[in-house]
Structures are given as structure tokens and as C-alpha cells.
Amino acid sequence: MNERSQALQALDELKALSKQKYVSPNSFAVVYIGLSEKDQALVWLEKAYEDRSLSLAYLKANPVWDPLRSDPPFQDLLRRIGLPP
């Protein structure tokens, strides 16, 4: 199974799990960034912001978000959280 297939499978598992219990939107965002689907990753990061997810405190430090750093919506999210872009 290639990496994309594994990521899609992980996404399916997260969706199924989220029907049973809370799954952080950040988890979905990480999978979408791994799939190079920046728009979907940003959608889920916005949901994490709405949920006041503590994981957003690491947006500046976590290299997983490097592909989004130059995107204006990501920079706006950093500002709203109170982190300098």
C-alpha cells in the first residue's frame, strides 16, 4: 500500500471514529496536509480554531505545517491565535 492509500485509509478511520467520539479537527488537518490538500487542511484548522484546540499553540513550531506557512489564510489564523506570522 502506498503512502497516499495509507493516508486515505487513515482519513476513513478518523471519520468512522469521529462518529463514536470526539476527534480533534487537527488530526484531519494533518492527514490532509500529508495528502497535499492544503485547502482541506485549512478548513480543518479553522474547525480546530472554532473548537479552541490546544494543538494550535504549536502551529509555529511544528514543521508539519511548513507547506502552509506562506498561505495568507494560515498567516491570518496565526494572527487570530495570537502568534506572530
Q: What does the pLDDT read at residue 78? A: 95
pLDDT digits (tens, 9 = 90+) for 61-78: 999 999 999 999 999 999
Please compute the mean of the pLDDT values over residues 20-44 and round it to a whole number: 95
Share of the chain above pLDDT 70, in %: 98
Q: Say how many domains are in the chain.
A: 1
Domain span at residue 49 reads 3-81
DSSP state of 24: -
Residue 3: pLDDT band by 50, 70, 90 thresholds? confident
Say whether 10 sits in a helix, a strand or coil.
Answer: helix
Residue 20: pLDDT band by 50, 70, 90 thresholds? very high
- 42 close to 23: Cβ distance less than 8 angstroms: no
Q: What does the pLDDT read at residue 84? A: 80
pLDDT digits (tens, 9 = 90+) for 50-64: 999 998 999 999 999
